[in-house]
Amino acid sequence: MTVAVQRIAVMGAGSWGTTFAKVLADAGRDVVLWARRAEVADAVRCRHGNPDYLPGVTLPASLRATACAKEALDGVDTVVFAVPSQTLRDNLGDWHKSMPPEATLISLAKGVELTSLKRMSEVVIDVTAVTPDHVVVVSGPNLAREIAAEQPTASVVACVDHDRAVAVQRACGTRYFRPYTNTDVIGCELGGACKNVIALACGVAAGLGYGDNTLATLITRGLAEMGRLGAALGADPMTFAGLAGLGDLVATCSSPLSRNRSFGYRLGAGDTVEQAQQSTHGQVAEGVKSSLSIQGLATRCGVEVPITDGVRRVCYDGQLPRQMAAELLGRAHKPE
């Protein structure tokens, strides 16, 4: 069966949703962007920009926008979900009856749901009752600001149906955005969710004044945490060596454009969680809540995730960042 990915609704006009809509439009697709606020939709539609999230970026004239979800979903063959992970279920509850029954559903969200400990593709399947072969995940080193500036990057399009993954790959490939396919949805989603927590830890370390050795240690040991959890849940270990694993981890842990790293930096520099939240200007640092859900998932699987647990204690138990660092360094010595 031929999979059509031509008429696309992108649901969510934050920085990544708007950027991915731009990528799709630049790839020649018919794209409509749904924004929760009418003024954002008006800016995209009338002024070809989204100054709240991508200041200075000119969007394609072909990119349409609306604040009406039903209008955005009318007649499309593909729906992209670009809302924060912890809001996806509620949003789907509002949207799914307006979505065409055979549509390809693409998740950009990176997280594990707090209440159910489910990955985002599992949440989509839960609410919409579609089969897993209709759900696609896009993940990788995708810092929105750089992609919106058309700096070269690669990403992963994951689906258990290889043909559907290829159809989405073709739909979003541009001269600056290079997608690869993968059928390991579990691994790609876990990599995207876990890296946010590790990036927060790297930000904490930077805020404490630690240097590149510490950063490299956290990235490497964070990758080990991701691999252990992935193995317990049936992921392909090789996925974590690729773009959706190590690639995303390095970008998010190293870049000042990363909200999670920036949030962690503020904590390490002495801010409270509330003060650090104010500094994100309404954009979500997914690693805060993901530290809870990933820790819960790891506990259920009997897997040790000490960095994730340290981030959780700082964000929710009031532990001081320097104490977290001391406890991680004080763990028993063992083989790598």
Write the secondary structure of the chain as one string of H (helix), E (strand) and C (coil): CCCCCCEEEEECCCHHHHHHHHHHHHCCCEEEEECCCHHHHHHHHHHCCECCCECCCCCCCCCEEECCHHHHHCCCCEEEECCCHHHHHHHHHHHHHHCCCCCEEEECCCCECCCCCCEHHHHHHHHHCCCHHHEEEEECCCCHHHHHCCCCEEEEEECCCHHHHHHHHHHHCCCCEEEEEECCHHHHHHHHHHHHHHHHHHHHHHHCCCCHHHHHHHHHHHHHHHHHHHHHHCCCHHHHHCHHHHHHHHHHHHCCCCHHHHHHHHHHCCCCHHHHHHCCCCCCCCHHHHHHHHHHHHHHHCCCCHHHHHHHHHHHCCCCHHHHHHHHHCCCCCCC
Catalytic (active site) residue 118: no
Residue in 22, 110, 118, 195 annotated catalytic: 195
Residues catalogued as catalytic: 195
